[in-house]
Structure formats: C-alpha cells, structure tokens
Amino acid sequence: MFRLLSRHGRRTRDRCLGGQRRYEHHKAVMAIRREDVNPWERRAPLAPRHVKELTNAGVKVLVQPSNRRAIHEKYYMRAGAIMQEDISEASLIIGVKRLPEEKVIPKKTYAFFSHTIKAQEPNMGLLDDLLTKEVRLIDYEKMVDANGFRIVAFGQWAGVAGMISILHGLGLRFLALGHHTPFMHIGMAHNYRNLSQAVQAVRDCGYEISMGLMPKSIGPVTFCFTGTGNVSKGAQDILNELPVEYVEPHELKDVCETGDMNKVYATVLSRHHHLVRKSDGIYDPMEYENHPERYTSHFRTSVAPYTNCLINGIYWDPLTPRLLRRLDAQKLMRPLKVSRVPTEGSPALPHKLLAICDISADTGGSIEFMNECTTIDKPFCMYDADQHIDHDSVEGNGILMCSIDNLPAQLPIEATEYFGDRLFPYIWEMLSSDATRPLDEEDFSPQVRDAIITSNGVLTPKFEYIEKLRERKEKAQIMKKSGMKRVLLLGAGYVSRPVVEYLTRDERTQVTVGSVPLRQAEDLAAKYPNTIAIMVDVCSQEGHLDSLIKDHDLVISMLPHSLHPLIAKHCIKRKVNMLTASYLCPAMRELHSSAEEAGITIVNEMGLDPGIDHMLAMECIDQAKADGCTVESYISFCGGLPAPECSDNPLRYKFSWFPYGVLQNTISPAVFLKENQVVSIPAGGALMDSAAPMDFFPGFNLEGFPNRDSTVYSECYGIQTAHTVLRGTLRYKGFSKAMSGFIKLGLINKDTCPILHHTSSPVSWKELLCKQMGLSSSISQSAFEEALCERTEKDDSFIDGLRWFGMLGDEPVPHADSILAALAKHLETKLYFNKGERDMIMLRNDVGLRHPTGELETKHITLVVYGDPNGFSAMAKTVGYPAAIAARMLLDGEISAKGLVLPMKKDIYGPVLTRLKEEGLHFLSKSTLQE
C-alpha cells in the first residue's frame, strides 16, 4: 500500500515540474487559508514541498497562521511561504473545506470543497455570498478526467480512515453484545501519530484472528464494500492487513455458515451484482448510465442479510436506486435463526447486519435512513429502525452507524501530501485566473473549467441546475405538511421574532422565513415550531420569489420599503394577501386598483410608527367625532431608544432598527402644519437644527424633530379642522447635535465612494476625514483634531465623541458602497445592545378636541414599553406584534377590505389594539381641560 502511494507521488511530481516549466513566466500571489469551520480540520490543500516548488518559480505564497494545522508553520516558512493573517493580496485563495461567509473576500478565485452541487441546504448561504461577492469558485469535487473520475480528492484516505474507524466501532459493538474481540485493540484513526501505527494495530488484530481468538458464537465476520473507486480501495487496503478472503457476493451466504473462524471474509459489490431493470430483471450498463431510474437494487435481499459490516463508498444521485431503506433495516434487524442454543456467556448475535460505515456521507442518500452525519468526536450512533430514531451509543437495539463527512482529517499529514500531489499540476493555471475577467476569456483546461461553479456573480451554465434543485427541495419542505396555513415572512431581522412566535402558537400555521443571509433565517427558525428557513434574494431572484409566493397564503415583508412594490406585484399576480409594517409609498399606492381587481388585501403601515400611532389616533378621533367634538390639533412623537441606564454614549442612542435608515432619516426633509401655517424643512441636515426639547415626561431628557410630511394626515385621519398637525421622532438630548457634526463632516453621504469599495485598499477613519476636509492624511494628530474642531464649530464634545467611536486614528473604515453605509456599519459595531441591556419605546399622542360646549380638551395618549433582556426588545414587540396580529386576522378572514388597506378603520384597529393589550402593551390616556 505504501509503496504504491510513493510511486504515485513521484509520477505526480514529474508532471508538476513540466507544469512549472510551462508557466515559469507567470508570477502571481496565492494564499493557503486557515481551516476554521470544523475543529477537527487539520489538513491543508498543499504540503510544504509543493509550496517550495511554487516559491522557487517566483510565486508569492501567503499562508494564514493556524496552530490547528497538523503540519507546523515553520515547514511552510522554510519552503519560502510568508505567514500572515491578511491574504487579500492574493488573487487565488485555496483551502480544503468551506469558509465562513463573512470571511469571503470579493472578486477572488477560491478553490475548496464547497458541498453545494446537490444544493445542500447548510451551504446555500455560502453559495449566495460567493455569488454576491462575484467570487470565482473552483470546486475540487468537480475536477474530473475524461471518463468522469475525480482527479483531485482525498477519497483513498477517506476509505483508509473510515475502515479504521469502523473496525474500532465493531469492537465496541461486539463488546456491547457480550463479546470481546481482537477489534478492541484498534482505536480511532486520529489516535495514531501516523498511518504506520494504525496499520500495525490492524495487523496485531489480524494476528489474533488468525490464532482463532474470535468468539465462535458470532460466526465468521463478513464485510461488504460498495463501489470500486478510490474510497473503496482505500478501505480494502486496511482490511487487507487482516487475514481476509474475498468472495463473490453470492458466496457470502455459504461462508456465513461454513466459513473459517481464523479469517474474515469480504466481497466487493459492483453494479452488475445488485442492479436490475424493474421491467425484466436484466442489467444493461449503457441503459443504466442514461436511465438509472428504470432500475432497482436487490442488495437488501441478496447480500445485506449475510453482511456484518457494510462499507458504503458509492456516489448517490436522486435518480439512482437506494441500497437500503428504512423498511429494509427493519427486516434486517429481525432475530437470526441459530443452529445452536446460545448461553449467557456465549450469546448469539441479535441480527447479522451490525454496522454500516457510510463513507459517502450522503444524508438521505443510498442509505436512506442515514439522516445525519456523525462526527470525529462522536463517531457512532445506533439506528433503531423500529423506532426510526438515532441514539448516541453503541448499546441497545439497532445498527451501528458511522458517517463522518471529513474522515481524512483523522490522518491530516498523509492526507495533505496525497491531496497536494493531485492538486498541484492544476495550481499553475489556477494562478492565472482573474475573477474580474469574463470566464470565456480564461484559458483553462477542461478539468479546471468544468469545476468552476460560480464566476462573475452567476452560476456557470453547467451548474445553473443548482438553483432549480434548491427550489424543488424548498418546495418539498414547505408543502410537506398538509392542511397548514402558510405564511412567507421576508426578513429575519430585529422585529421578525415576535411575528413567528405569535403565528406559530397556532399549530396549523407554518412560517417560511426568507432572508439574506440564510444563517439569520436558520437561527430564527430553530427557535419555533413549524418554521422553515430559506434563502431568497428578492432583488436578484424574482423567479424564486414568485414561486415561493405561489405556495403561501400570506406574505409578510419586513424588508426595506423600496422592495415592497416588487413583492406586491407578485402577490397580485398570484392572488396572495400581503402585509408590511412600512409607510405606504407612491409606487405602492399605484397598485391599489390592481390589488382590488385581484381580490386581495395588502395591509400597510402595521407596525409601531407607522402603525400603533395611527390606531391610537383613530380610536381617539373616531370617539371624539362620535361625541360631537372637533379636532383642532394633533401632535405625535415616537422614538425607539435605549433605556436610560443604557444610553451612556455620545449619541445617547443604540440601534434596535435598521442602522442605515436611522442615519439617513437625519438628512431627510420634513413638512408639518403649525397654527395653519405650513412649515417646510429642507433636506440635507436642517432637520437636526429643528430639534426641540420635549418635556411631557420631565424625568426624561428628551428632544424631538419632525418626521416626513405630517400634512397628509389631515386627510388620512379626517381632521381637516386641525390647525396643527405634527408627527415627530423622539431622541435623548444630544443626539441631534452629534448628528449635526457627522453631517458637517460629510459623513451622512449616500453617494458612491470608490475608495471604500471591497476591492479597494483599507482606509482609516483619519484618512477618510482628512479627504472630506481636503487635508493631507500625513497631517499631525493635533492639527487634524484642530481642523475637525473648526469644521464642527468648535464642538469639543463632538470631537470627544469621535474619539469614543474610534474615528480619530487608524481604525479602518468598513468597506461599503457609500460613506453613509460605512458609517452605519461602524456605528452598529459600537452602538449595539450588550447582553442584559434593554431598549425602550416611547409614543405620545396629544389630540386637541373642541367640545360642543366650547371647552378645549387635550387627550394625552402614551405608550411606554421596555425590552426584555431575556426576550424580545421593545422595538420588536411594538413592530412585530401588530404585524402578527393583523396577519392572523388576514389568515382568519377578519379583514374583508380589498386593495391597499391602512389600519385606520375600527374593524381593524379595534381588534388589534385589544389584542396588543393581551401581549402586555398597555396604553395610558389622560386629559387636560381648558375653558
């Protein structure tokens, strides 16, 4: 075995030298990234000797430091590699396994095992991120030769490690069944310093078997290998260290009964041994290649009943027959008929099939009941087919399962050398890859070109099927339960949790949470029953969005308001009701008649502000009109704030809502009516100058400023008699002054800023501020701060605030499309709620009413809500619960109006306000009278 591997390595190195000569003129920078997803992943894609050949040819090789990597970094440094954390200089970045989404560098060429070609759900978020960041992904799994065989793989080492592990597992399983066997002397592969030590342990086991030390009551031990590729061959190499006799599959039955106890028996299963055409029982290899769905397997009856341990190494496709199903496992677990009477000290086996090592690790694949992979630290579980459950043990009823999906990581040094030999010949052409260049302009070999899954922001033609496969999987998951009311919730941010919590109280309601990124939706779905997480990008996946809407009874959008018209058009097309918590924009208003014609309801402004503020206003106004009163004024202020004890920062603010929107609103225009005079505040920053103290709660140091166009509510609320109509935003005093400083420095700027793009070199906050002020970045710190002071009208407190935010020195500005987006990202990292902290919502409506008697009454309606540090934030409660309640009303047919609907009618606001009180949101109403 070892001589064979060594000869192969020399042949590969000869090819590598030829490749080196071919590309000697090419100088490039590449990087080997750190493996950081799985704690057991100690491999690397190249060994130091491969790196040495690259550096000798003039290639700059960066290696990210990692104490976990099995090959010490000093060997890479001796080979000429540069150890450094920042690998953004490299055009080619290679690894073994997937990387976290947040560590993907845009517009680079990456090579690693992505596990996306079957639309594997855990990795779809990564795939989406690679597409968004326009990464060129080369997937080793799809690098194949002219015959379709993989050429860059760890397959043989998966077989080696898998075989060692299952021999260890067999020893444990036999012991649990009352039998000490020589297999007990074999440990897990990773417990050995190298393969030689592991092989010696297997040989020692074999010696004891040959000496007749296997318990006779268990009979000859039989193994079955599926497949004839590298995985199967690697596993057989290990079994060959035992005294083993290979037989044909049909001979297993005989050796089970009459075999020699001084050896073990094995068979290698090829397609012709177990596959037959459903119609006539014949196997036609050519037809099977093209139409595997026409075939079935008789493995369950012809081979499995005579196998103690199955080593499965075949690739499975959904169209190909399964080896074993749950029903087969139930039959295979039936007690054996034994010729002799077992005794307490010499028990019989409960059934023949004791263990399965599924090296292919295809969940729900050729072994249908292998639902979840095991891990190196928990390598085994018992599958009880009668109960259809897995339990972490080697005891009890069932079949021992081992399905570790990173088996070669147990032998990391040998696996790295082996893999690197296979990958190295293709590194040279990968180095020439420019991810910003169109793929058809690249000169790749078929082996590399056909392995490129993403490039230039799209799936390559060969892999476009992934999107359809993904949608089919999602649809099957969504439609799995019948009789459910299905809700599509777009957005998994701050306020979506109460929506899901409220709706899933009804066990007949199912919520599909769609989000970018997927991880956010998964985290939310994991907390509640009947909740499914999917990834959907509304902007770039309209077809996917349309398909999802078609399969649901209601769509709730918690996405930015600019996306609502697009979503609404698909809801109208599919005749599906919709709900949002955002303001009704002009583009949505234009859809009113179309929604009416489609017979659907689109509820808008069903949150806090807008939402609860409308409903409290209309409840007061409608009652006042019923009492014969005239509305003379309406003033409403609302704000999401940190609780007072959590407001100790220069902005006196923390984000419980969309950070970009909070900052953008500070430069918005505003219009309101005051004493019958229309007051207009222009865009660009004057809004912050209009902030005024708010003293309706003297215990709070509040300020407020107008919000949007308040004048439209004269008509919306039916209060054309009012001389004052003002809706505004609440903040703690000091917010507007600090924001004015940001505005004066040009930081609330939505224009595209090329120097902050992902492809640009990092820029510090000092450099950016110097650019904004027209200064050289080499200016002294004291002169820099003096210039800032002058620009902000000598506001020392603002300069101290910039220092608090880390914006006066070398701290890097986040990459973003605009300065405003970068500031939002930066402040979000500084102004977040720590564990144990809480936010607060404050809403105040003051409604001036003139009674028929001439008295002037002012109604003071107040809502104050505090967040629960161990539950929902105040913002989440006050936005999420109104939306969820209205959604429930739509699902139950309580809202009959069609077209675009606002919560201003009693048949909507009445039930919603009542149910909000049941959720702990209590409204306080007081009055003051004037003669």
Q: What is the pLDDT, as a whole number, of residue 338? A: 63
CA 830 to chain centre: 24
Strand order in the sheet with 29-32: 82-83, 60-63, 29-32, 92-94, 109-112, 136-139, 452-455, 458-459
Structure tokens belonging to residue 547: 């398909």
Q: What is the pLDDT, as a whole number, of residue 20? A: 41
Say how far apart CA 423 and CA 152 lie, in whole Å: 6
Q: What is the pLDDT, as a whole number, of residue 655? A: 86
Of 314 and 10, which is predicted with more confidence? 314
Catalytic-residue membership of 405: no
pLDDT digits (tens, 9 = 90+) for 268-285: 999 999 999 999 999 999
Structure tokens belonging to residue 78: 């001796």
| Residue 19 pLDDT class (50, 70, 90 cuts) | very low
Q: Which of 867, 891, 856, 878 is nearest to 923 (CA)?
A: 878
Mean per-residue pLDDT for 636-642? 95
Mean per-residue pLDDT for 617-623? 96
pLDDT digits (tens, 9 = 90+) for 805-823: 999 988 999 999 999 999 9
Residue 569 has pLDDT above 70, yes or no: yes
End-to-end CA distance of the chain: 103
Mean per-residue pLDDT for 459-464? 95
Residue 15 has pLDDT above 60, yes or no: no
Q: What is the pLDDT, as a whole number, of residue 131? A: 92
Distance set, CA 453 to CA 94, 101, 122, 426, 431 (Å) = 15, 16, 17, 17, 17
Q: Is residue 694 within a helix (H) or strand (E), and if so which, with residue range?
A: strand 692-694
Residue 236 near residue 216 (C-beta atoms within 8 A): no
| Residue 931 pLDDT class (50, 70, 90 cuts) | low
pTM above 0.95, yes or no: no
Q: Is residue 573 within a helix (H) or strand (E), and if so which, with residue range?
A: helix 564-574
Residue 237 has pLDDT above 50, yes or no: yes
Mean per-residue pLDDT for 554-581? 95
Residue 423 near residue 46 (C-beta atoms within 8 A): yes
pLDDT digits (tens, 9 = 90+) for 193-235: 999 999 999 999 999 999 999 999 898 999 999 988 889 999 9
pLDDT digits (tens, 9 = 90+) for 711-759: 999 999 999 999 999 999 999 999 999 999 999 999 999 999 888 887 7
Residue 858 has pLDDT above 50, yes or no: yes
CA 766 to chain centre: 34
Q: What is the pLDDT, as a whole number, of residue 292? A: 94
Mean per-residue pLDDT for 642-670? 90
Q: Which of 571, 492, 572, 575 is nearest to 533 (CA)?
A: 492
The active-site residue out of 358, 384, 609, 839 is 609
Of the ranges 104-113, 133-142, 726-735, 757-766, which one carries the lowest mean pLDDT score? 757-766
Of the ranges 116-125, 526-535, 596-605, which one carries the lowest mean pLDDT score? 116-125
Residue 24 has pLDDT above 80, yes or no: no
Mean per-residue pLDDT for 477-499? 92
Residue type, 440: D
Of the ranges 267-276, 516-525, 637-646, 876-885, which one carries the lowest mean pLDDT score? 516-525
Residue 825 near residue 899 (C-beta atoms within 8 A): no
As a whole number, the mean pLDDT across the chain is 91
Q: What is the pLDDT, as a whole number, of residue 340? A: 62
Give percent of the chain with pLDDT exceeding 70. Answer: 96
pLDDT digits (tens, 9 = 90+) for 530-545: 999 988 888 878 888 9
Q: What is the pLDDT, as a whole number, of residue 132? A: 87
Residue 327 has pLDDT above 80, yes or no: yes
